[in-house]
Structure 1
Amino acid sequence: MRDSRTHQPLTYDVRLPDEAQADALRLLDASRSVINVALTLLWPHLDDFKADRVGPAWKQVGKYMGSPQYHGDRQWRCESEVVGRILRAQAERKQAFTLVFPILTEGFIIPKTDKHPASKKRPAIKEAITALQKSLEEEETSFVVLQNVVEQCCNYFFAHDRFPTTYEELQPVPLLKVGMLTYAGDDGGAKGQAYRLALDVDAGVARFRFRYPDEAGVWHWRKVDTIIPLPDRVKERLSCGEVKAPTLREEQRADGSRIVVLDFIIEVEKVDLPTWESVERVLGADWGVHSLLTATAVDEQNEQVGRPFYLNTGGFDGRQARTRRQIDALKKKVAKYEEQRDALPSDHPKRAWFNQKLILFRREIDRCWRKYEQRNRALAHLASNVLVLLARVYGCSLLSMESLKMIGLRFHTEQPRGTSHTCPHCGLAAKTYRSPSDRKQAVKWGRWMSCESCHYNGDRDYCASVNIARLGVAYVVQMKHTGRARSCSISDPRVKPVSYTGAGSALLLPPTGSHARPIVSGKICYYPGWLGSAFLQSSQKKSVFLRLCG
């Protein structure tokens, strides 16, 4: 691949036609067996894959071993490329474990009680990781990666009542559960010895042929090309990009069925990021408590631009919550049946009945997890598209939020500490309540935020998005003045207050609380706040979406 500073790969998956599915599944099953054997044999050499990362991954694997089940030289190259990539990724993760190991403490764990199982103390985890990142040079490892490794260590603690002492103790050999085969180790689509691929952009099709084992285990080339219709987006990318070796991949559906898709990998030029001098507006986005996403645009003069935007998922959250409850109930059944089975003698005939039930329960748990994760991926995709479009609508060149990757935008992550309990108007600590009309007692996860110092109040998620935008503006100002910047805390004096109303915002809103409307100089004075929210469905047209944005 070309220099990653100027080009980037984009992947588009296309389902193989039905007539090729059975042969492709047998190919992936045979390759997965080889890959898993190689991973097991090379796992003790994991550190070597961190030190040596130059060149194709299959060459690095070839220094240690040949194919455990030889099906052809180029076939083994493709399989060993998958092995090398997995081991290189695990080596980087081991480096993250080395960084977090000194900060692992039982303070990350909330002990088990009679009513609740042991759980993670997430505020303590975030505080420790933030302090660790500040001690590292140039934030060499992302917050999300460090947090993920720490949480995996906490899961190990729950199972063993102690933290792991080595990464190999924490992480079992990462064996493939579904088939995956990259053709990057072959000689190209025209002369490949494991696959052939020809693209006819004018006709809008790809001709794909591959080697596979038949039902008797004998390897053959498919006699005819598999014709794959190309989606419009792929044809558009092919006109300005360069196609790379594809990847054949298995996907498991929620009902347990398996299908094979071909990942088309197209390398395109990166979109030039705006210079810091040209960044004038920041889009602050917050993963909300009561809505999926809340976004607010703020300019360099700390003025709000336009109305806040709420992405509400409606009953989707309820379905996800029910799926999680179903998973928890099944896990309790598994634990109960395991306990009852283990209490029986080893030769008791009912142990077989328990084992059969446990297989069914675990299969159902896997199905529920796949459904849950598939929905989450769909939500993340929707949120990403919404944020990109909002940034264009409001002319924002910097996206400031907790964690997300964007193309063509400056992106900056902010730690959410205090953003939901700080007044964006005066910068002092504020309380949250259940609703605008119920402010008798402050609630940590309340929906409405109210400041006792300046009497500002508003939707909690909206206030968090404004505060995250404020942090982004402070970062931009540092970059413009000094050429270097670090994240600020929400209480830092460099983080300036934001006016509630800016260009395009609506002033006259209904009163937000139970208080009577005050009259100043004979005029009714409205309290600041937002009662309504925009409800977006992904099936709406772009023109409708733009009208919702104002």
Structure 2
Amino acid sequence: MAGSWLTSTATCTAYRAVCGGTPDAPGVRVPVAGRVFAERVGWLADLVRGMADQVIAAHWSDADLALLAAGVGVDGRRLPASGWMALRRLGWGAVAAAGVVVSDRVRRIAEEEAARALRLGCHRHAVVAALLATWPADPFARTDGEWSALRAALPEGCDTATIRNRTRQIAGYLGVHGRLPADVCELEGPPVVARQVSLAAADRQQVVVDRVDDRMVRVCSQLPTCAGPVSYRDWVWHAFDVVLPVIVPAGVKVCTPTVRPRDGRVRVDLPWRAPHTPPPVDGHTRGLGVDWGVNTLLTATVADLEGGSVVVDGRPLRFDATGVSAKLVRLRRHRERLRTKADHLTRLRDGRPADAPADSALAGKLACLEAEHAAVCARIRHLNHAVAWSAARWLVDHATAAGATVVYVENLATLEAGGRSRSLNRRLSGAVRGAVFTAVAHLAAKAGIAVVTVPARGTSSGCPRCGAAVTHVKAPDRCVAGYRWATCSCGLSLDRDHAAAQRIAARGLANQTKTRRDRSGQAAIRTATDTPVRRRARRPTPAVTTRPVRNRRKTAPTPKQTRPATAKTSRLLPSRRQVPAPTEPPPGTGGKRPAGRTPQETNPPGPVRQVPHTASTTTAPRHPHRVRRATLGRGFHRHVHATPITNRDGGTGTMSASLRIT
């Protein structure tokens, strides 16, 4: 989100292309098959990655990273925002290999990829420098003073996960070499750019994007016809059409894409922009408080600000992904087993004598394990992505249906949990909170809903009504130490995540005047005071009309019972009085069979399967378990159970077609 525009990215696929001519003068067009087209895009990606890796390796040093991070060139002028222009201002231009001819626009694309990697390296350089400057005697048990000194030296926006990971990396280097590294360049090698082509860094001499109609975009770009072009005649214009998904509205502005060759196809990341006005961060009267969980991924509640106090309706909204979490745990265990086997085979292969012949069986097993490991990793990534966007879609739809104008989420970036078990830490490390927050922020911006983070300290340990410390038990009827239920001396007895969601909503609504936006546009409340939450009074239930008491005294004749016209009967079997008995038995039968199972012959003629007495011969066959309503917004997976979306009037809501994820 930048300025008054909201940028989204639609991932499409280009299956074929045509080459020849130019965008202004098409000339004779020759069709290009999908495999050939993907191969030529791969050649361009390899040329770009080779030049970018050379630039990164040549300037992966402490002095060059410090110069790039300063933002001022050698001539004293401020470096441009564009990466390729900043590198050329510093004199770090990309150079093609000997004998290879590339245009200036291709070098510009390589310089842009190198600049992005080096600027990310500048952030890692600042984090590692702060850790080395304040390295304590025990890095895993810092005191309050050591934490204060570290926080003051770290760059802005550094979260606890980054601190923990970099601390472990430095401690590992210290254990191997017996000394601390000098900087990040000694701690790790230069990064490697991805195999992709960012066409946005070029101009119309390299790429042209035209909108054919509301559902199709035509992209023209120069591609090499061989792996090592030796002249400009080896570069030919290729045009390919991209069909836009249904989530892209008609008439929006389409930007220059990024192409990625993959599995014989060309993936196209096509950005599109729509006008957007950032929603206000204060002045809200109804909001949604959201609490993170391990199995119950999201627990939310609707809260209103009435006369300076926060009022909740007491209805919890849950997105329970327990089944998917169990599936992810199994996939991670399988991935670890595959990685262990592959590492063992790699050690066996590398430990063979140099003059020994290659073991084809060992190489085949290793290749098979690597392929299966890559497939499992892809499955985990896709499942995490589906969970994150499904949960975000569900949350934004609930906020829209409830009429909430803001969503308050606890900020777990600076909260460190210690003393947990190894299995719980592994499950927490595999959580998709960052992806969920990004998806919620993006979808909420489309719906005109603000997303604000609040401090997470004490949201689960305090009572939303009185603010005192709560006691966590297993269940309301099992007062033993547990996790699931929260009780308080004031009479609170509530689900732990639901109570935390109420506390988060109260912090956001009561302290919304303290909301500030950072440089990236993310709204956050840094410091907050807790406000008691009051539950809304229940609506009085209408009086139930009672039936008159039957007179069972025997002093008078029993009155005749009148049966209503529409008698209530079972949906399974008709009433015996409604279905008259047949006057005579069906032909071919000797009368009614007595009660009991179907009689079976003792010696049937031929291989006849005997029906067991436990199997019913009159009911319909049983079907396997199928969870209904496994649709988007209520759960994309059959083992995801979410609270149905209801409108403010109580009716079941539906998602907007423009915001639906396909």
Work out whether the TM-score is over 0.5. Answer: yes
Task: State which of 410, 423, 427 in structure 1 corresponds to 2:463.
Answer: 423
- Counterpart residue number, 1:522: none
The structural deviation recorded for 1:321 is: 0.6
- Counterpart residue number, 1:286: 291
- Counterpart residue number, 1:182: 198
Map of 1:96-495 to 2, 5 A cutoff?
A: 96-102=127-133, 109=140, 141-144=156-159, 147-158=161-172, 161=175, 165-176=182-193, 178-187=194-203, 192-202=204-214, 204-215=215-226, 217-218=228-229, 220-222=234-236, 225-236=239-250, 238=252, 241=253, 243-250=254-261, 257=263, 259-274=265-280, 276=282, 278-300=283-305, 301-305=309-313, 307-337=315-345, 357-358=365-366, 360-401=368-409, 402=411, 404-405=437-438, 406=441, 407=445, 408-440=448-480, 442-443=481-482, 446=483, 448-476=484-512, 478=514, 487-488=526-527, 494-495=529-530
Alpha-carbon displacement from aligned partner over 1:449-498 (angstroms, at most 9, x marks no partner)? 23242231222221222222222234215469xxx995347xxxx30121
Q: Which amino acid aligns with 2:507?
A: L
1:499 and 2:510 aligned: no
Q: Which amino acid aligns with 2:316?
A: P
The structural deviation recorded for 1:354 is: 5.8
Of 360-369 and 287-296, the range deviating more from structure 2: 360-369
Greater share of residues in helix = 1
Task: State which of 118, 123, 127 in structure 2 corresponds to 1:92.
Answer: 123
What is the alpha-carbon distance in structure 1 between the residues aligned to residue 290 and residue 169 of structure 2?
Answer: 30
8 Å CA contact retained: 2:313, 2:535: no
What is the alpha-carbon distance in structure 2 between the residues aligned to residue 172 and residue 153 of structure 1?
Answer: 17
Alpha-carbon displacement from aligned partner over 1:253-296 (angstroms, at most 9, x marks no partner)? xxxx36422222233333232252x2223321122133111111
Larger Rg: 2
Unaligned runs of 5+ in 2: 17-33, 72-78, 412-433, 517-522, 542-627, 637-642, 655-662
The structural deviation recorded for 1:132 is: 7.2
8 Å CA contact retained: 2:295, 2:322: no
- Counterpart residue number, 2:85: 59
Q: Which amino acid aligns with 2:256?
A: A
Pick closer, same or farther for the CA change 1:430–1:48 going to 2, 3 Å: same
Match of 2:95, SS state, is coil
8 Å CA contact retained: 1:424, 1:498: yes
What TM-score, normalized by structure 1, do the two folds share?
0.74
Pick closer, same or farther for the CA change 1:127–1:295 going to 2, 3 Å: farther
The structural deviation recorded for 1:503 is: 7.6
8 Å CA contact retained: 2:390, 2:633: no
Identity level (%): 22
1:4 and 2:33 aligned: no
8 Å CA contact retained: 1:295, 1:308: yes
- Counterpart residue number, 1:15: 13
What is the alpha-carbon distance in structure 2 between the residues aligned to residue 258 and residue 457 of structure 1?
Answer: 58
Unaligned runs of 5+ in 1: 110-123, 252-256, 507-533
What is the alpha-carbon distance in structure 2 between the residues aligned to residue 535 and residue 462 of structure 1?
Answer: 24
Pick closer, same or farther for the CA change 1:302–1:381 going to 2, 3 Å: same
Q: Which amino acid aligns with 1:64?
A: W
Match of 1:419, SS state, is coil
What is the alpha-carbon distance in structure 2 between the residues aligned to residue 258 and residue 360 of structure 1?
Answer: 20
8 Å CA contact retained: 1:157, 1:164: no
The structural deviation recorded for 1:311 is: 0.7
Match of 2:526, SS state, is coil
8 Å CA contact retained: 2:221, 2:238: no
Alpha-carbon displacement from aligned partner over 1:109-141 (angstroms, at most 9, x marks no partner)? 4xxxxxxxxxxxxxx7999999679758xx972
Q: Which amino acid aligns with 1:50?
A: A
What TM-score, normalized by structure 2, do the two folds share?
0.63
Pick closer, same or farther for the CA change 1:409–1:156 going to 2, 3 Å: farther
Q: Which amino acid aligns with 2:15?
A: P
Pick closer, same or farther for the CA change 1:235–1:289 going to 2, 3 Å: closer
Of 335-344 and 470-479, the range deviating more from structure 2: 335-344
- Counterpart residue number, 2:581: none
The structural deviation recorded for 1:84 is: 1.4
Pick closer, same or farther for the CA change 1:541–1:175 going to 2, 3 Å: closer
The structural deviation recorded for 1:323 is: 0.7
Match of 1:245, SS state, is coil
Match of 2:39, SS state, is helix
Q: Kindly report the root-mean-square deviation, in angstroms, between the aligned alpha carbons of the 2 structures.
A: 4.0
Match of 2:296, SS state, is coil
